[in-house]
């Protein structure tokens, strides 16, 4: 690469061409991902400050491991990807436990990073490609949901983290043309990511389809890649269908039902909050693009960066729209990191060599500073909080290995399901630290009554009892209950579908001021109370649970 840059040499001058030292970026990428994977393996299941949602992952994985099929044997408002991974994690254990969730993340790590690394290294300078891939790997092994503090350690909402990383890689693939032409391979990668998004969460998938259309319109994505994309997408569908019995029609029906139960007012509120949280980054991104317009005009160049403006607006707009269908993620929208990476790819000829560019033309310092600041602003807060959460979990590792008696759950399957004694998170129905004792109370209650082959339904956010007690899970009804998300008082499954196979029904007792999901139990009682009164009777009541038995 020439050191000439913008300097002009006389004919007698000797132009010394400096050989730039080649950095083995692909090898560094693989090494970093392997190190992260080994760290996650060593860390194991972490202490759970926000515990209750994790029972959804366990129940979903257990149902699939027991042969149940999402969309057929139970409904699921979220895609089955994370539950399939949890079920595969259970197959890796002699005695399935909460570690299955961590193993599922590790199984997904090579899939996600191979796709992200393939896309990035074909489009970006080596250092940026490595950074992007490692950033995606960190999302896989992270132990906090987007938008949560580093101290709120949990595996809840894995589907959002996986959705963001897949969507980010897809955006990069359709926004930046690869350096060499491999339309079938590039299209196959896009199809695989679209397929995984489809089985992860519908809102990410729909935006992914729009991103592909935009890439075709802007000609940053070759039309010849569509054949490969169709093949990659079909492969994912076939794997889920033949491997786990999950047909696209049943899954689509679940999503449509859940959509009907979701209120527009709640989503609008989340959208407005997301816009407010991400306004600073959005303003900075638009300011950098405006600087490119100014630079083009100053140089008298006929081309204007309209394409970059459209891509920037799409990434910004689609990210905040996606977040409106998630839990509050604040400014932790990983896809925004694609904006500076698209700019880096477009500006590579004139970026300084120290920043991974070719250095052929001088870039104004303010514009370069804005680009660097944008890259840091979209990646550092997320990566920093994820790394801190992993560090906090490492410090609590001994608590998981030897929990105090008050935090132990009396089930061999939940021996590594540990909530710190000082956890004050308001999880479903209780303060987090009280969840183990609440579960123990329910398990002891059921052990006094159930017989082999009995099936238990729980009128709570998730059902922890089938997995904890090795029971055959009941079929019918949603995997999880969340008012205004998976059901409401107008849109819900019939009582016979929910309770038809149940010999026992567990109802959590509500305590004022404790728990975040009491309205869900209250709504379920209003919807199904009449059916339960006609078909069930009180078996026993404890401090934390009411047990109903079929009449």
Give the pair of three-digit tokens for residue 372.
């660097």
Do 272 and 158 fall into the same domain? yes
Residue 453 placed within a domain: yes
Q: How confident is the model at residue 454 (pLDDT cuts 50, 70, 90)?
A: very high
Please tell me which residue, 130 or 304, carries the higher pLDDT value: 130
Do 440 and 365 fall into the same domain? no
Give the pLDDT confidence score for residue 526 in this predicted structure: 95
Give the pLDDT confidence score for residue 20 in this predicted structure: 56
Does residue 458 register a pLDDT over 70? yes
Do 270 and 350 fall into the same domain? yes
CB within 8 A of 267, min separation 6: which ones? 324, 325
Return the ∠ at Cα 10 (arms to 6 and 12), rounded to 5°.
135
Residue 424 placed within a domain: no
Residues 112-152 pLDDT 10s? 999 999 999 999 999 999 999 999 999 999 999 999 999 99
50-54, 161-165, 295-299, 504-508: segment of lowest average pLDDT: 295-299
Mean residue pLDDT of the chain comes to 91
Give the pLDDT confidence score for residue 8 in this predicted structure: 33
Do 230 and 349 fall into the same domain? yes
Give the pair of three-digit tokens for residue 338.
């694609």
Does residue 483 register a pLDDT over 90? no
Whole domain around residue 108: which residue ranges? Answer: 25-41+48-392
Do 384 and 441 fall into the same domain? no
Residues 228-265 pLDDT 10s? 999 999 999 999 999 999 988 888 888 777 777 666 66
Query: Measuring CA to CA, which residue among 485, 479, 516 is closest to residue 63?
Result: 479
CB within 8 A of 250, min separation 6: which ones? 69, 70, 71, 72
Q: Tokens 């105090």 label which residue? A: 404
Do 500 and 387 fall into the same domain? no
Residue 17 placed within a domain: no
Give the pLDDT confidence score for residue 446 in this predicted structure: 98
Give the pair of three-digit tokens for residue 504.
């026992």
Do 363 and 466 fall into the same domain? no
Give, as one character, the DSSP assignment of residue 537. Answer: E
Residues 427-441 pLDDT 10s? 989 999 999 999 999
How far is it between the farthest Cα atoms of the chain?
102
Q: How confident is the model at residue 16 (pLDDT cuts 50, 70, 90)?
A: very low
How would you write 503-515 as a 3-class SS string? CEEEEECCCCCCC
Residue 3 placed within a domain: no
Rounded CA-CA distance 28/32 in Å is: 6
Mean local confidence (pLDDT), 312-321: 96
Does residue 15 register a pLDDT over 50? no
User: Which contiguous run of DSSP H or E holds residue 547?
Assistant: strand 545-550
Residue 8 placed within a domain: no
Domain count for the chain, please give it.
2
> What is the value of pTM for the model shown?
0.93
User: Which contiguous run of DSSP H or E holds residue 539?
Assistant: strand 536-541
How would you write 388-441 as a 3-class SS string? HHHHHHHHCHHHHHCCCHHHCCCCHHHCCCCCCCCCCCEECCEEHHHHHHHHHH
18-43 burial, b for 16+ CB within 10 Å, e for fewer?
eeeeeeebeebbbebbeebbeebeeb
CB contact at 8 A, 140 and 158 = no
Q: How confident is the model at residue 1 (pLDDT cuts 50, 70, 90)?
A: very low
Do 309 and 216 fall into the same domain? yes
Residue 112's CB: how many other CB atoms inside 10 A?
A: 23
Q: Which long-range contacts (CB under 8 A, 24 or more apart) does 138-141 make?
A: 138/36, 138/383, 138/386, 138/387, 139/112, 139/164, 139/165, 139/334, 139/382, 139/386, 140/105, 140/108, 140/109, 140/112, 140/113, 140/165, 141/36, 141/37, 141/39, 141/40, 141/105, 141/106, 141/109, 141/390
- Determine what percent of the chain is predicted with pLDDT higher than 90: 79
Residue 4 placed within a domain: no
Picking from 375, 392, 409, the residue at the C-terminal end of a domain is: 392
Do 478 and 385 fall into the same domain? no
How would you write 187-205 as a 3-class SS string? HHHHHHHHHHHHCCCHHHH
Residue 416 placed within a domain: no
Picking from 333, 365, 392, the residue at the C-terminal end of a domain is: 392
Residue 464 placed within a domain: yes
Return the ∠ at Cα 425 (arms to 424 and 427), rounded to 5°.
130
Give the pLDDT confidence score for residue 21 in this predicted structure: 67
């Amino acid at each position: 690469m020439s050191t000439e840059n913008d300097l002009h040499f006389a004919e007698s001058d000797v132009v010394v061409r400096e050989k730039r030292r080649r950095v083995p970026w692909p090898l560094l990428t693989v090494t970093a991902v392997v190190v992260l994977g080994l760290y996650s393996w060593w860390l194991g299941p972490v202490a759970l400050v926000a515990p209750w949602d994790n029972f959804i992952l366990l129940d979903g994985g257990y149902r699939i491991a027991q042969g149940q099929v999402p969309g057929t044997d139970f409904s699921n408002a979220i895609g089955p990807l994370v539950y399939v991974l949890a079920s595969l994690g259970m197959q890796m254990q002699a005695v399935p436990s909460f570690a299955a969730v961590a193993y599922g993340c590790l199984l997904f790590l090579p899939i996600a990073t191979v796709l992200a690394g393939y896309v990035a290294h074909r489009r970006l300078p080596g250092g940026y490609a490595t950074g992007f891939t490692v950033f995606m790997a960190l999302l896989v092994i992270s132990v906090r949901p987007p938008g949560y503090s580093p101290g709120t350690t949990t595996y809840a909402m894995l589907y959002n983290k996986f959705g963001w990383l897949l969507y980010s890689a897809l955006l990069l693939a359709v926004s930046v043309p690869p350096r060499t032409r491999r339309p079938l391979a590039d299209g196959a990668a896009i199809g695989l990511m679209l397929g995984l998004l489809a089985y992860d969460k519908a809102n990410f998938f729909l935006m992914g389809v729009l991103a592909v259309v935009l890439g075709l319109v802007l000609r940053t994505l070759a039309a010849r890649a569509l054949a490969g994309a169709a093949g990659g997408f079909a492969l994912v569908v076939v794997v889920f269908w033949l491997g786990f019995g999950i047909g696209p029609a049943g899954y689509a029906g679940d999503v449509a039902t859940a959509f009907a139960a979701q209120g527009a007012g709640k989503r609008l509120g989340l959208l407005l909050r997301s816009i407010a949280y991400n306004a600073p980054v959005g303003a900075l991104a638009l300011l950098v693009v405006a600087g490119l317009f100014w630079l083009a005009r100053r140089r008298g160049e006929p081309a204007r960066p309209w394409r970059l403006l459209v891509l920037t607006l799409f990434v910004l707009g689609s990210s905040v729209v996606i977040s409106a269908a998630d839990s509050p993620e604040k400014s932790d929208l990983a896809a925004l990191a694609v904006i500076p990476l698209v700019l880096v790819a477009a500006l590579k000829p004139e970026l300084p060599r120290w920043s991974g560019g070719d250095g052929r033309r001088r870039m104004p310092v303010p514009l370069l500073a804005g680009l660097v600041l944008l890259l840091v602003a979209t990646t550092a807060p997320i990566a920093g909080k994820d790394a801190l959460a992993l560090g906090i979990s490492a410090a609590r590792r001994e608590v998981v290995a030897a929990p105090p008696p008050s935090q132990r759950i009396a089930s061999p399957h939940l021996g590594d399901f540990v909530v710190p004694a000082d956890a004050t998170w308001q999880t479903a129905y209780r303060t987090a630290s009280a969840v183990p004792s609440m579960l123990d109370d329910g398990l002891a209650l059921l052990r006094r009554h159930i017989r082999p082959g009995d099936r238990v339904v729980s009128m709570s956010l998730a059902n922890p009892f089938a997995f904890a007690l090795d029971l055959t899970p009941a079929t019918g009804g949603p995997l999880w209950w969340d008012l205004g998300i998976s059901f409401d008082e107008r849109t819900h499954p019939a009582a016979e579908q929910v309770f038809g196979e149940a010999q026992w029904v567990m109802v959590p007792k509500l305590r004022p001021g404790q728990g975040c999901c009491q309205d869900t139990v209250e709504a379920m009682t209003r919807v199904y109370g009449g059916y339960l009164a006609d078909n069930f009777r009180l078996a026993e009541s404890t401090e934390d649970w009411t047990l109903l038995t079929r009449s």
